[in-house]
């Protein structure tokens, strides 16, 4: 058995959670901040049999991988007009940092 | 040495915490949600010598294991009288999902 | 690769965080309470290559190790004058409990 510890962005956490539930994987979410990813993040712990590691990694990749996203310009109202960019810009969102840990023993009470 | 990671229900966490302290085990609680257990849950991390794994597992089992509990009926006042059950019902509460992880090295500063 | 799990006091967490960032180590912070240390604490997870374990342990030791600190007396106003201590007292602050866990596989998406 393995314990998959995945640090992902908050914005991807509900989608990942739904995807895991759909495939009957059980996950626990820990509130986490900073570090691996700039924005607010969430740490998932997912306990799986060895042959289920790859399917779970695929789900994490599909739902959380780093990608570009167009962000609408923000009006310079009350801000600095000199730095105003009047067209959408691409920013990187998402991303996942995943540790697969060996589990010596597993119990359910 | 081993790191015991136990996901239990919030309602059992103070009782487990007291039981661990009574036996001089040190635990850290992480706020966690959803996943392994339906209700709000808490994740305990407990670092122990190899020969203390079994005693800690017994404490977790005694204080957190899944069990039936009678829940008093809720008055239909303002609710749906059609679904009102006028007698106590049994619901499952508690439960623990426990991972025992190998520790390669332990330091205390 | 290793996953370093360090439980430290809240008051040391920003200093440790800065020290890690300065050396380009990435860490995730988990909100945690009680247990290993009496005061509010924070759990850091830091993923590192094997040869970086020792440098990270040094950073944790430098920034978080248990030490004595002089605490100014609190005025007995509204309190119990009998237990009032009119001079600074030394209390122990800080401290770190650190687990180094083996990582079987690491992925970044
Ligand atoms: Ni296994
Ligand atoms: Ni050992
Ligand atoms: Ni390695």
Structure confidence by residue, pLDDT tens digits, C1-37? 999 999 999 889 999 999 999 999 999 998 777 654 4
Chain pair A-C, CB pairs under 8 angstroms: 74
Question: CB C27 to CB A34 under 8 A?
Answer: yes
Q: Reply yes or no on whether the pLDDT at A82 is more than 70.
A: no
Residue C105 with chain A: CB contacts under 8 Å = 53, 99-100
Q: Which residue has the tokens 């010598």?
A: B49
Retrieve residue C7's tokens.
Answer: 């439980």
Cα–Cα distances in Å, from B30 out to A26, A42, A55, A93, B55? Answer: 18, 12, 27, 26, 22
Q: Which residue has the higher pLDDT, A56 or A35?
A: A56
Q: Tell me which H or E stretch contains C102.
A: strand C96-102
Among A29, A105, A108, select the one facing B97 at the smallest CB separation: A108
Q: Which of C73, C97, C88, C93 is nearest to C11 (CA)?
A: C93
pLDDT computed for residue C36 by the predictor: 47
Q: Which residue has the tokens 């915490």?
A: B17
Retrieve residue B38's tokens.
Answer: 């339906």
Q: Which of B98, B76, B82, B108 is nearest to B5 (CA)?
A: B98
What values do phi and psi take at A41, rounded to 5? -135, 170
Q: Mind telling me how many Å the CA of B68 is from chain C's nearest CA?
A: 29
Q: Angle between the A53-64 and A10-22 helix axes, to the nearest 10 degrees?
A: 140
Cα–Cα distances in Å, from C52 out to B104, B109, C12, C49? Answer: 15, 18, 21, 5
d(CA B19, CA B56): 9
pLDDT computed for residue A63 by the predictor: 97
* Closest CA in chain B for residue C96: B109
Q: Is the dihedral of CA A6, A11, A17, A20 positive or negative?
A: negative
pLDDT computed for residue B76 by the predictor: 57
Residues 6+ apart with CB under 8 A from B39: B9, B10, B11, B93
Structure confidence at residue B107 as a pLDDT band (50, 70, 90)? very high
Residue C31 with chain A: CB contacts under 8 Å = 31-33
Which residues surround the ion ligand 2 when the cut-off is CB under 5 Å? Answer: B 1
Q: Report the pLDDT averaged over residues B30-36.
A: 67
- Degrees (nearest 5) of the Cα angle C53, C58, C60? 95
What values do phi and psi take at C54, rounded to 5? -65, -45
d(CA A85, CA A89): 8
Question: CB C34 to CB B45 under 8 A?
Answer: no
Q: Which residue has the higher pLDDT, A82 or C12?
A: C12
Structure confidence at residue A76 as a pLDDT band (50, 70, 90)? low
d(CA C12, CA C8): 7
Structure confidence at residue A6 as a pLDDT band (50, 70, 90)? very high
- Degrees (nearest 5) of the Cα angle C60, C61, C62? 95
Chain pair B-C, CB pairs under 8 angstroms: 75
Cα–Cα distances in Å, from B53 out to A32, B2, B57, B99? Answer: 27, 7, 6, 11
- Degrees (nearest 5) of the Cα angle A24, A27, A32? 155
Among C41, C65, C99, select the one facing B103 at the smallest CB separation: C99
C→B contacts (Cβ < 8 Å), by residue, are: 2, 5, 7, 30-36, 41, 43, 53, 57, 60-61, 64-66, 95-102
**How many of the other CB atoms lie within 10 Å of CB of A20?**
19
Span C38-64, pLDDT tens digits: 557 889 999 999 999 999 999 999 999
pLDDT computed for residue B36 by the predictor: 47
Retrieve residue C41's tokens.
Answer: 């604490």
Retrieve residue C28's tokens.
Answer: 């995730």
pLDDT computed for residue C74 by the predictor: 64
Residue B98 with chain A: CB contacts under 8 Å = 106-109
Structure confidence at residue A34 as a pLDDT band (50, 70, 90)? low
pLDDT computed for residue C41 by the predictor: 85
Q: Mind telling me how many Å the CA of B70 is from chain A's nearest CA?
A: 20
List domains and CATH numbers for chain B: 2-72+87-102 (3.30.70.120)
- C5 CA to middle of ligand 2, Å? 16
Contact A47, B97 (CB under 8 A): yes
The mean predicted confidence, pLDDT, of chain B is 87
Contact B98, B57 (CB under 8 A): yes
Q: How far apart are the first and last CA of chain A?
A: 17
Residues B73-90 as b or e (16 or more Cβ within 10 Å = b): eeeeeeeeeeeeeeeeee
- Ligand positioned closest to the Cα atom of B52: 2
Residue B43 with chain A: CB contacts under 8 Å = 28, 30, 45
pLDDT computed for residue A36 by the predictor: 46
Span B36-54, pLDDT tens digits: 445 578 899 999 999 999 9
Retrieve residue A33's tokens.
Answer: 């901040």
């Amino acid at each position: 058995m393995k314990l998959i510890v995945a640090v992902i962005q908050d914005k991807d956490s509900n989608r990942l959670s739904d995807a895991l539930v759909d495939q009957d994987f059980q996950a626990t979410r820990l509130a986490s901040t900073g570090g691996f990813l700039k924005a607010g993040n969430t740490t998932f712990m997912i306990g799986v049999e060895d042959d289920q590691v790859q399917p779970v990694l695929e789900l994490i990749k599909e739902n959380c991988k780093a990608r570009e996203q167009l962000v609408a310009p923000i009006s310079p109202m009350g801000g600095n007009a000199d730095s105003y960019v009047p067209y959408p810009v691409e920013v990187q969102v998402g991303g996942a940092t995943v540790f697969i840990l060996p589990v010596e023993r597993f119990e359910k009470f």
